[in-house]
Amino acid sequence: MCPFSQTPAGDHNAASAALPESIVREERAQLDFSHSMSYGDYLQLDAILTAQKPLSPAHDEMLFIVQHQTSELWMKLMLHELRAAIDRIANPDTGTRAEAFKMLARVSRIMEQLVSAWNVLATMTPPEYTAMRPYLASSSGFQSYQYRAIEFSLGNKNAAMLKPHEHRPDLLAQVRTAYEAPSLYDVSLQLLAKEGLHIPASHLERDWTQPYSESEAVKEAWLVVYRDPQKYWDLYQLGEKLTDIEDAFRLWRFRHVTTVERVIGFKRGTGGTGGVSYLRRMLDVVLFPEIWKLRTDL
C-alpha cells in the first residue's frame, strides 16, 4: 500500500494524476492568462531562459553558462542589498540600523548560495571543460563588473580593475561609483565615531579610492564595543554582521580557487591571469582587519 494515497502501489500513478485536477477545481485556480499577467510574464522568463547560447557543441557548456548567469543574478541582489545597507548606515534618515543589519545578513546568505554554486560547477571534469574552453576566447569571470563593484563596496579598491570595463562607459560608470564611494567599512567607522568612539581623522575623511590601512586606534575602538556589548549593542551587532560577511566572502573565494584548480589545474585563466596562482593571492586580502585582530585581545 502507498502510505500517502492509501491506494495499492500499482495504482499510485493514477491516483496522483487525478489529485491535481481535483485540487485545481476545488481551489478555483486561474487557468486562462490570455488577458492577464502570468508567472512567466512577471519573471520575464522568455528573456531569461533564452539567454543561454552555447558556442561549442560540448554538452557541458550549458552548465557553465547557467552557473555563471545565476551567480550574476545573485550578485545583482547582493549589490542591491549592499548599497541600501551602506546608505542606511551613512544616512540615518534613509532607514533604520535594524534594516541595514537585516540587509547585511541577507548579503551573507547570498554568498552562501554562491559558494554552493561552485559545487555544481565542480562536477565538470577537465576533459569536459577542455572541450569548450577554446570557445570562451578571452572572456573571464575576472571581467565581471558586478563582482568588481562588490569588492569595491567591501573596501578592496584597486584602480587597475577599472580598465577591463573601459570599453563600456555605462558599466565603467557603475564600477567607478563604487570605487570612489566610501566602502561598507568606511561608513561603519564613521558610525562608531558618531557614537562617541575615537576613530582617527585619517580614517573618517580620506581618499576613498585608496585601499584601507589598518589602524591600532580603530582596533581599540572596536575593543571598547566588544568589551561592553550591552552598552554598544547596535555597534556590536554591526561588528558581527561584518564578520559574517567576510567569513562568507572568504569561503566564496576559497571554493572558487579549489574549483578552478580541480577543473583546469594551474593553466592560465582565459582572462590572462595566472589562474589558480592569482586566485590564491586574493585569499590573503583582509577586508575588515581590526574586526579580526580584536579577538586576540579580548
Q: Evaluate the CA torsion angle 254, 257, 261, 262 in order and state its sign.
A: positive
CA distance 177 to 173: 6
| Residue appearing with cell numbers 545578513 | 105
Task: Count CB-CB contacts under 10 A for residue 24.
Answer: 12
64 belongs to an annotated ligand binding site: yes
Report the SS3 class of residue 7.
Answer: coil
Q: Report how far apart, in Å, the C-alpha atoms of 143 and of each of 79, 168, 222 are.
A: 16, 12, 35
Q: Which three cell numbers stand for residue 18?
A: 487525478
Q: Which three cell numbers stand for residue 74?
A: 545573485
256 belongs to an annotated ligand binding site: yes
Identify which of 84, 146, 147, 78 has the alpha carbon closest to the alpha carbon of residue 112. Answer: 78
69 belongs to an annotated ligand binding site: no
167 belongs to an annotated ligand binding site: no
E-assigned strands of the chain? none
Q: Which three cell numbers stand for residue 226?
A: 566588544
For the chain, the farthest-separated pair of C-alpha atoms sits apart, in whole angstroms, at 77
133 belongs to an annotated ligand binding site: yes
224 belongs to an annotated ligand binding site: no
Q: Which three cell numbers stand for residue 281?
A: 593571492
Torsion of CA 79, 84, 85, 88, to 10 degrees: 160
Q: Which residues does the annotation place in the binding site for substrate?
A: 64-68, 129, 133, 270
Q: Which residues does the annotation place in the binding site?
A: 64-68, 129, 133, 256, 270
Q: Which residues does the annotation place in the binding site for heme?
A: 256
